[in-house]
Amino acid sequence: MALMQISEPGEAPRAARHRHAAGIDLGTTNSLVAAVIGERAVTLGDEQGNQLLPSVVRYLAGGSPRVGLGDQQFVHDDPHNTISSVKRFMGRGVEDIQKLGDRFPYEFVQAGQGMPRIRTVAGDFSPVEVSAEILKALKERAEQALGGGLEGVVITVPAYFDDAQRQATKDAAQLAGLNVLRLLNEPTAAAIAYGLDQGAEGIHAIYDLGGGTFDISILRFSKGVFEVLATAGDSALGGDDIDRVIAEWILEQADIGRDADQACLQQIVHHARQAKETLTERDEVEFTIERPDGSLWKGALSRPVFEDLVRPIIKRTLAPCKRVLRDADIGVNDICEVVMVGGSTRIPLVRDMVGAFFQRQPHVDIDPDKVVAIGAAIQADILVGNKPGDDMLLLDVIPLSLGIETMGGLVEKLIPRNTTIPVTRAQKFTTFKDGQTAMAIHVVQGERELVSDNRSLARFKLHGIPPMVAGAAHIQVTFQVDADGLLSVSAKELSTGVETGIVVKPSYGLSEEEIEHMLRDSLTHASDDINARRLREYQVEAERAINVLQVALDESGERLLSAEERARIDEALAALEAVQGGDDYLAIKEAMAHLDRATAEFAERRMNASIHDALTGHKVDEICPD
């Protein structure tokens, strides 16, 4: 029975409670969280105002992992324990990761049949667990900014992420304690942010080149329907590859061998990334690189040379652009607008080459780093129920075909790529042998004809088939893809009604038991994590106090303090320095309080001296005029 919202006569109905929701762009290089505040979607910053959270997690022996800005330096100082660009590893096996290149400093270990793990001083961690740390930091930022817990989030993924990569992303969110309202393709989120659904009817191309992934999507907007016609891309192509070719150029110019230690190589990659960013606005960037033998190499990279280096990478993005136009059955003249998304689209050559391909100037109105998170926030606000009157309809597509293995190692595709989701498709199969009472179902994803050339997603068996002659049984296999692009498969023998099925959890995702174990661990160690955070906060505050006091003593200690007073302060300072690096935050707190008492008189004298210096040489009426 439905309930009506009523009020007393003459009394206005109470306003619906605003629900906190957020959009998260879990990026390769940087991540962001955004929310709708008032009528606008805005990205949320940390206490220092930083909007971008570097997707970097550093693991420490015996301590909580550290996430974000302050750890970027450790990418080259402590490369084995500082994980960056983890998005490129999501949903991949060790063999897949090795195909991405040999320049990763991490030691990957295979854990049984599950996903690979990265070995650190704090233990072995999967890409899902690393991503969960980034999501936890974004969750905390959003809750602080909004003043309450989140009821749901929309997390964006590359349009070309396959089922394993999408499932890994959802696992990471679950591990971070987030309720995922929807996984939203990044180009679709960007289109929402640009407001293309608000009356801008026509066909639009969304070109998304991020740190580690590339997507191109064709979307059509008509009468409130937001339809993705086709999508293509490469989930292992992005700004990291541009950094790599610049780093290889530096190695060659500086005469540094590729067998240099990882700290040296990561430092050069860091210089390469800075060079890429500098050359978006300047014509040349200079380097000073320390070689492994301690000598220095000084050089410069001009924009023309930079463009020659990266042109082949940008050209690789144009092949999917041609393919997506073909899949959508349109030409470049049918495109109304081209929207640029992702930090790598700041590069002038990218904008020039994309503009030349589509024969029009691309849209760059919104910060390409923020546009995806803003679009996700708008969608999250709708899905959580804050805008019940919004009738925007999203029709997304799956990026790769889904099918099953048939005899001879062939693939029978049930759902072709670029099919609108959510979708359900069924097809009938039969037995191969007389008396066959079971059938093995092997679910695969990809465009190739042979199973060996596609991605294996799952295997399960249908038992209880009545023994019949070959070809007599009728087995209906049903594929169902939800709005997140995640797959479930069922098989049913029609004469008996016996049925089995599986929600596809790729071997590179986390099992329910693993997720439950990790969540239980997070609750068990919640107190330890709070204490670790508190310790770090006191350590930072102690370091600041020590530095400030040392400057004050150098400036006026000899002038304002007697030898006895200076000795007392030095003693308190030494006591704080002795415990500042320890693991007892109460000892640090106590030592800081002792130092405050020891320096109180000194601080008062410094203040009086400053006032005296400021007043010297001035008349009273100059300072206090009538």
pLDDT value at residue 453 = 76
Rg (CA), the chain: 30
pLDDT digits (tens, 9 = 90+) for 119-168: 999 888 989 999 999 999 999 999 999 988 999 999 999 887 878 888 88
**Of the ranges 38-52, 136-150, 284-298, 473-487, which is most confident?**
136-150
Q: How far is CA 259 from CA 151, 245, 256, in A?
A: 49, 16, 8
Residues 620, 197: Cα–Cα separation, whole Å: 67
pLDDT value at residue 78 = 79
Residues 219, 186: Cα–Cα separation, whole Å: 12
The average confidence (pLDDT) of the chain is 82
Query: Any idea which residue has 């740190």 for tokens?
Result: 211
Q: Where are the beta strands (DSSP E) in 398-483?
A: 402-406, 410-415, 420-421, 423-429, 438-445, 455-463, 475-481
Residues 428, 369: Cα–Cα separation, whole Å: 46
Token code pair at residue 352: 């020039």
The third-level CATH classification (topology) of the domain covering 398-509 is: Substrate Binding Domain Of DNAk; Chain A, domain 1 (2.60.34)
Give the orientation angle of helix 127-146 with respect to helix 163-175, to 10 degrees: 50
pLDDT value at residue 61 = 84
Of all residues in the chain, the percent with pLDDT exceeding 90 is 24
Domain 239-310 CATH (choose: 3.40.190.10, 2.70.70.10, 3.50.50.60, 3.90.640.10): 3.90.640.10
Domain 21-238+311-396 CATH (choose: 3.90.650.10, 3.40.1280.10, 3.40.50.10490, 3.30.420.40): 3.30.420.40
pLDDT value at residue 506 = 56
- Could you list the active site residues? 25, 87, 186, 208
Q: Where are the beta strands (DSSP E) in 75-213?
A: 82-84, 108-110, 116-120, 123-125, 152-157, 180-185, 202-209
Residue range 178-205: average pLDDT? Answer: 81
CATH number of 526-615: 1.20.1270.10
More confident residue, 210 or 201: 210
Quickly state the pLDDT bin for 2 (edges 50, 70, 90).
very low
Q: Where are the beta strands (DSSP E) in 482-543?
A: 487-493, 499-503
Residue in 205, 171, 172, 201 with CA at minimum distance from that of residue 190: 205
More confident residue, 12 or 174: 174
Q: How far is CA 489 from CA 4, 91, 599, 625, in A?
A: 39, 19, 71, 85
pTM: 0.69
Name the 3-class secondary structure at 501: strand
Domain ranges across the chain: 21-238+311-396, 239-310, 398-509, 526-615
